[in-house]
């Protein structure tokens, strides 16, 4: 690897590490959940075809881009804390569906509003032009990470 690329890679690694630590994970830890569990709950509440029925693990996995075993691990933790419940699919009782509990719905909606406000602050700080460039570059980096994961 070229020396310049190596320096840039090290700088990006440092920035990613600092970004992860300082991008506001405290709201999640107050609830005893991980950021990935928050996004799983948010998906169940906002994006399921019928949130009252729940979603299949495979559907959650596809939408979040994580493995089914990773989803199951998060579900076990969330179920233990009373944030989700499992139920049989009324169309096929062999299939297990997962849905958010009423307890989690109120908490997640509030947390999501706080996260949006936090990111709006970032957009204001960066300004319109830099925000668009940040989105473009972050999206491009995300595409790279997704492709790298497939290999």
pTM of the predicted protein model: 0.67
| pLDDT mean across residues, the chain | 87
**Mean per-residue pLDDT for 11-15?**
89
Domain locations in the chain? Answer: 22-150
User: ∠ CA(62), CA(69), CA(113), 5° rounding?
Assistant: 55
**Distance of alpha carbon 77 from alpha carbon 12, whole angstroms:** 32
**Distance of alpha carbon 66 from alpha carbon 72, whole angstroms:** 10
CATH number belonging to the domain at 22-150, selected among 1.10.10.10, 2.60.40.420, 3.40.50.720, 1.10.1060.10 = 1.10.10.10
Instruction: Compute how many other C-beta atoms are within 10 angstroms of the C-beta atom of residue 128.
Output: 9
Hey, is 97 helix, strand or coil?
strand
Confidence of residue 3 (pLDDT cuts 50, 70, 90): confident
Residue 48, pLDDT score: 57
pLDDT at 131 over 80: yes
**Which residues lie below 8 Å from residue 139, measured CB to CB, with a gap of 6+?**
none
**Distance of alpha carbon 46 from alpha carbon 43, whole angstroms:** 5
Comparison of pLDDT for 32 and 119, the residue scoring more: 119
Q: What share of the chain is helix, strand, coil (3-state, %, to 5)?
A: 70, 10, 15
Tens of pLDDT, residue by residue over 34-86, are: 888 988 998 998 875 565 678 999 999 999 988 999 999 999 999 999 999 99
Maximum average pLDDT range among 17-21, 107-111, 136-140 = 136-140
Strands (E), the chain: 55-56, 84-89, 92-100
Confidence of residue 1 (pLDDT cuts 50, 70, 90): low
Confidence of residue 26 (pLDDT cuts 50, 70, 90): low
Residue 31, pLDDT score: 75
């Amino acid at each position: 690897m070229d020396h310049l690329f190596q320096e840039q890679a090290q700088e990006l690694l440092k920035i990613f590490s600092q970004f992860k630590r300082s991008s506001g994970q405290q709201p999640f830890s107050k609830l005893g959940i991980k950021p990935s569990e928050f996004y799983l709950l948010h998906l169940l509440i906002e994006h399921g075809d019928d949130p009252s029925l729940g979603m299949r693990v495979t559907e959650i996995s596809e939408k979040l881009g994580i493995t089914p075993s990773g989803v199951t691990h998060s579900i076990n933790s969330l179920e233990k804390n009373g944030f989700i419940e499992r139920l049989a699919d009324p169309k096929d009782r062999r299939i297990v569906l997962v849905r958010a509990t009423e307890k989690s719905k109120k908490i997640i909606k509030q947390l999501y509003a706080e996260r949006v406000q936090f990111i709006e602050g970032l957009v204001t700080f960066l300004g319109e032009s830099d925000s668009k460039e940040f989105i473009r570059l972050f999206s491009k980096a995300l595409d790279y990470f997704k492709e790298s994961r497939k290999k």
